[in-house]
Amino acid sequence: MNYFQRVISIYDHLGLPHHQNVIQCHRRCGYLYRKQHDHQPAFACYEQAIFHYEKASLPRRHPLWVLIYTNSADKYNFVVPYNRALEEYENALQHSSTESLKISRIYNAMDVCRSQIIKADVHQILILMLHELEERLL
């Protein structure tokens, strides 16, 4: 982590706060936090990466966009807000080129998110039905 913070401070000092390497540092810090199951700092790092990318003069279809959004979506998918993960995967698709090798992985992850959303909805409906049945029986 200290290495990445040092790199970021060097680029800030050079007057390049939105350089591609700064974006990569934030993304990698988020990944490391994610591996440590430290959720809030991971989200913050991914948000910083997105912020700096939006300020950088990189093309819209740059592979770094896809990495940032898929990392962020993987994090949301791991912590359970499947709707947010689905949004992040959709953002990744918008920024990926048609030749990208990650497209099939993104679609598979989106299918998993959708099935988890359906499971949660069915579970919620069953709970509501059981409560209604219980009230009628009392």
**54 and 64: one domain?**
no
* pLDDT tens string 29-82: 988 888 888 888 888 888 888 888 888 877 777 777 788 878 777 776 666 678
Instruction: Quote the percentage of the chain above a pLDDT of 90.
Output: 1
Q: How many separate domains does the chain show? A: 2
Question: Any alpha helices (H) in the chain, and if so which ranges?
Answer: 2-13, 20-35, 39-55, 63-79, 82-95, 103-137
CA distance 35 to 123: 29
Q: Residue 113: what pLDDT?
A: 85
Domain holding 50, by residue range, is 1-58
Instruction: Quote the percentage of the chain above a pLDDT of 70.
Output: 95
Contacts of 78 (CB under 8 A, 6+ apart): 34
**91 and 117: one domain?**
yes
**51 and 64: one domain?**
no
**For the whole model, what pTM was predicted?**
0.58
CB atoms within 10 A of CB 85: 24
**53 and 64: one domain?**
no
Length of the chain, please?
Answer: 138
For residues 125-130, average pLDDT: 84
Lowest mean pLDDT, pick from 17-31, 42-56, 75-89, 93-107? 75-89
**71 and 113: one domain?**
yes
What mean pLDDT, rounded, does the chain reach? 82
**72 and 132: one domain?**
yes
**104 and 42: one domain?**
no
